[in-house]
Chains A and B, each alone.
Chain A
């Protein structure tokens, strides 16, 4: 009796069974057989990532994707660059300060970069307790609608004034790493930290600018110019 056809049949049946089991096991999320041909946003749906966050376990492939840290081409000139990858949520002026609010999704690079050159003058933490005063965020435009926000604020002194970069996440994620120290000189576009599963980065800029980015426009950390500074950087 010839074994060739039977072996071929067994191979086809095993492959078919593997496809069916894989599809059923991973439902409603994509099976490992489909994932490689999907875009990152389809490969790891938001609902699945939220489940991982709640469980505290992540698929290694997603972790490797999330931790990517590509180099960026920093534009020359007197300008502010976006501190993070994402979408401009709001640009709000309060008194003399412009707040650029950048919203990050799960699929964006989460490395935060300095919007301009200067010296780190302060690093502050806020909202590390869920029992904090509720009024703390009430008057802060960039915290609107955020439940239990936690932020680390990197202040940068420059000839253009005192700028702040706020790395904001929710209380339950609550993982922000700042990789610069007080007194350190940093260049425009230099990496200053990373938000782990965070949501928002805000730049407080005491500037007037001839243009601002459109709300909902996509920005790239260290590359997209979000405001111009006067030559020499002095605003007042």
Chain B
């Protein structure tokens, strides 16, 4: 699932890094941007979903290409 040919799957590594970076950016935005928590969750959640969809699309198309 996450391990293949003596190394991690890149999709796993990128997914975890993307999640960690998102948490970091959300923490920063929460403290700096003054738009209210619910609005911030909606905006950042949408941005996270778009980014995740792009990553999934990228890895799926790469797999189809291989």
Give chain A's interface residues, CB within 8 Å of chain B. 1, 5-6, 9, 12-13, 15-17, 19-20, 23, 30-31, 33-34, 37-38, 42
28 A-B residue pairings within 8 Å (CB atoms): A6-B7, A6-B8, A9-B7, A9-B10, A9-B13, A12-B16, A13-B8, A13-B13, A13-B16, A15-B17, A15-B20, A16-B16, A16-B19, A16-B20, A17-B16, A19-B20, A19-B23, A20-B19, A20-B20, A20-B23, A23-B27, A30-B27, A31-B24, A34-B24, A37-B28, A38-B28, A38-B31, A38-B32
- Identify the closest chain B residue to A20 (Cβ): B20
B32 touching A42, Cβ below 8 Å: yes
* B residues less than 8 Å from A33 (CB atoms): 24
B16 touching A42, Cβ below 8 Å: no
> Number of residues in B with C-beta < 8 Å to the partner?
16
- Identify the closest chain B residue to A30 (Cβ): B31
A16 touching B6, Cβ below 8 Å: no
- Identify the closest chain B residue to A11 (Cβ): B13
- Identify the closest chain B residue to A41 (Cβ): B31
Interface residues in B18-54 (C-beta closer than 8 Å to A): 19-21, 23-24, 27-28, 31-32
B24 touching A19, Cβ below 8 Å: yes
The complex places the Cα of A42 from the Cα of B30 at a distance, in Å, of 10
